[in-house]
Structures are given as structure tokens and as C-alpha cells.
């Protein structure tokens, strides 16, 4: 049995808290929102973010951050990506040397272009940071639906520690040394999922979505490899796997926000209606900045930014994607003649 602190009581934090409790671990969940903790202690259910998933009395819900961190073998940082830095700053003086922090959010910080694990290491340098990612909606994990994810860490020992704590008969965990690739795939797929949602909102079909998924992973992999990630990672769970589920699922907040934008709502109206943090919106500008920095062609990411921030009509963005210059699908494949 391990003592685990979950930092963040959103849908993903709650789903993982239940999974870890079912694995036999001692689980404490923290939120800075007093009303949220009071509701969880009273109802034993997060009615807004994870309705129908009942939580045992043995899971501790608290606003006491020190209680959630001190003496824990592993911390799960499950706050939305825009709050990763501010929450990590709160942890700075509480985390012990070498204490494992598993980041489960997905995003890139605008301005610094840092991944979330890099932010945690910047704010809490004494920590041992790992990441957990893959095609894994909280709504399904909370119900025990079979799910497969990947854990990235700096050492195999840390990765295996996290793997052993999380893995069970319905939650299969692979391990990888490619933290950077895992996080880039996780963050950038949210931006492509916005595009897939926009296409759905415009009334386009499966052909369009398949094109966005296929060309989207090509864009993500081009940038990721240029930044030092491994191509195999983008062909795996946190790359094409997570991209498929986020572009297609009814649970995807990024796809839903895109769908609303495709139907004519503004970015702000769509985010308000989704009622949860749409992380792709926060990563879109950073993705475009990275594309420029590394001189990588990312037309889907570019058009999403145009729609989100420059009020470009969604149908015009799709048209511009379709009439781009003629291209080879794979530049490195030779012709026989």
C-alpha cells in the first residue's frame, strides 16, 4: 500500500483517486476550493464533473495542502494546465527531496513554451517528476472501463514505481523514457481536437475527421521530433492514441468546444458552455510559437489559431487547408523511376 496525495479535485483527479483507492492505496484529495471539498465530503460524488461515480468514505478530501503532501510516497498533480505553475509554487516548500510528482494534466505554457513537467521542475526542483498520459477520459476510468496509458519518467525505477501503483486489471500502464514526447503529444492533440470539433460543428463527415487526425499527428510528430521527442512516442498511446479518442469522443471538452465554435459561437461562449477548462485553447498559441521557433509547417494548428484568436470564419479556415499547395504525403519515400 502506498500513501498518495491527489492535488486537484476535478474529474480526472477524482477518477484517479477512486482507481488508486480500489488498488488498495491510502488516498487524500486536495482542492483549494472550500465549497468543492465540502460538497465531496457531504455527497461522496462530484455531481458537476463526474456524476454517478460514488466515492468511498475512506478517501480523504481536504483543503489542507500540507496534509495532502507530507509523508506521501507519490503526489498526483491533477489541476488544469493553466494552474500548474501556481499550484507547483504552493508545493515548493512542502515537497521532500526526491518525492515523486506525477503530472496528469496536458498543456504547454504560453510565453515560456515549457511543458508541464518542466514547469514543475522549475518550481519544485527537489521533486522527481513523472507524467501519465494517453487515451483516458475520466468519465470512463471512473466507471472502470478498460483503459491503457503510458508513464514517462527520467529513470526506469521511477517509471516502474508509478506503473506498480496505478496498474490493475482495467488500467494497463506502459512505461517510457520519453517524457518530452509524451507531453507534446498530449498537449498538441488538444489543439487538433478543437479542429475536429469545428469540422463536426460545420456538419462535415468522417472523411474530414480522418483527414484531420491523420494530418494532425503528422504535424505533431514533425514538431515533436524537431524538439527532441521520439517518433515512436507519437505513433503510440500519447500520440495517435490520445488524438483519436480526443477527436472522436463525446467526453472530449476540446472537441465539444470546437463543435460549438463550428456552429457559430465565439471562443469565450464555447468555453463558458463547456464549463470546464478547454486546455487546447491555452496550448494553441504556444503550439504556434513553437512551430515558428523550430520552423515547422503546422497548417492545422495555424488555422485553429486564426479561428480562435483572429475571428476567422471556421469554414474559411477549412477551405484554406484544402487549397494549400500540392504536397507529397511522405517526403522521404523514393520513386522507382
CB-based contact 175:51 (threshold 8 Å): no
Q: Three-state SS across 276-296? A: CCCHHHHHHHHHHHHHHHCCC
Joined together, the cell numbers standing for residue 194 give: 478543437
CB-based contact 88:116 (threshold 8 Å): no
Tell me which residue of 314, 174, 304, 168 sits closest to 241, measured CA to CA. 174
Q: How distant, in Å, are the alpha carbons of 75, 117, 133, 308 from that of 195? A: 33, 26, 21, 10
Tell me the C-alpha distance between 177 and 193, whole Å: 26
Tell me the C-alpha distance between 28 and 24, whole Å: 13
Sheet with 100-103, side-by-side order of all strands: 60-62, 26-30, 3-7, 74-77, 100-103, 128-133, 147-153, 171-176
**Upper half-sphere CA count for residue 28 (Cβ side, 13 Å):** 19
| 206 CB neighbour count, 10 Å cutoff | 8
Q: Which of 106, 189, 209, 230 is catalytic?
A: 189
DSSP 115: B
Tell me the C-alpha distance between 31 and 28, whole Å: 10
Active site residue 189: yes
Phi and psi torsions of 61, nearest 5°: -110, 130
Tell me the C-alpha distance between 322 and 317, whole Å: 9
Q: Which residues pair with 128 in a beta bridge?
A: 100
Residues annotated as catalytic (active site), given as ranges: 189
Amino acid at each position: 500500500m502506498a500513501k498518495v496525495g491527489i492535488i486537484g479535485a476535478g474529474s480526472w483527479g477524482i477518477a484517479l483517486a477512486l482507481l488508486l483507492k480500489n488498488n488498495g492505496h491510502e488516498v487524500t484529495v486536495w482542492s483549494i476550493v472550500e465549497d468543492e471539498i465540502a460538497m465531496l465530503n457531504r455527497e461522496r460524488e462530484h455531481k458537476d464533473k463526474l456524476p454517478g461515480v460514488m466515492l468511498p468514505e475512506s478517501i480523504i478530501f481536504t483543503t489542507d495542502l500540507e496534509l495532502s503532501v507530507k509523508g506521501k510516497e507519490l503526489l498526483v498533480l491533477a489541476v488544469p494546465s493553466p494552474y500548474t505553475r501556481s499550484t507547483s509554487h504552493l508545493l515548493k516548500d512542502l515537497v521532500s527531496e526526491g518525492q515523486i510528482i506525477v503530472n496528469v494534466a496536458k498543456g504547454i505554457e504560453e510565453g515560456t513554451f515549457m511543458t508541464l513537467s518542466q514547469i514543475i521542475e522549475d518550481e519544485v526542483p527537489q521533486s522527481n517528476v513523472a507524467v501519465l498520459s494517453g487515451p483516458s477520459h475520466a468519465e470512463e476510468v471512473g466507471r472502470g472501463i478498460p483503459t491503457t496509458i503510458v508513464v514517462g519518467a527520467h529513470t526506469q525505477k521511477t517509471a516502474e514505481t508509478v506503473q506498480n501503483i496505478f496498474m490493475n486489471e482495467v488500467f494497463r500502464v506502459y512505461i517510457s523514457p520519453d517524457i518530452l514526447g509524451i507531453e507534446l503529444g498530449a498537449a498538441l492533440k488538444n489543439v487538433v481536437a478543437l479542429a475536429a470539433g469545428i469540422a463536426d460543428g460545420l456538419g462535415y463527415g468522417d472523411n474530414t475527421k480522418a483527414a484531420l487526425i491523420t494530418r494532425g499527428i503528422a504535424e505533431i510528430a514533425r514538431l515533436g521530433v524537431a524538439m527532441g521527442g521520439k517518433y515512436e512516442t507519437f505513433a503510440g498511446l500519447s500520440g495517435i492514441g490520445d488524438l483519436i479518442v480526443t477527436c472522436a469522443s463525446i467526453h472530449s471538452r476540446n472537441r465539444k468546444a470546437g463543435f460549438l465554435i463550428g456552429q457559430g459561437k465565439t471562443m469565450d461562449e464555447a468555453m463558458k458552455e463547456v464549463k470546464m477548462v478547454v486546455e487546447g485553447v491555452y496550448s494553441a498559441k504556444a503550439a504556434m510559437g513553437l512551430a515558428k521557433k523550430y520552423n515547422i509547417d503546422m497548417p492545422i494548428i495555424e488555422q485553429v489559431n486564426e479561428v480562435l484568436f483572429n475571428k476567422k470564419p471556421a469554414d474559411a479556415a477549412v477551405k484554406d487547408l484544402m487549397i494549400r499547395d500540392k504536397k507529397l504525403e511522405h517526403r522521404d519515400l523514393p520513386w522507382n523511376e
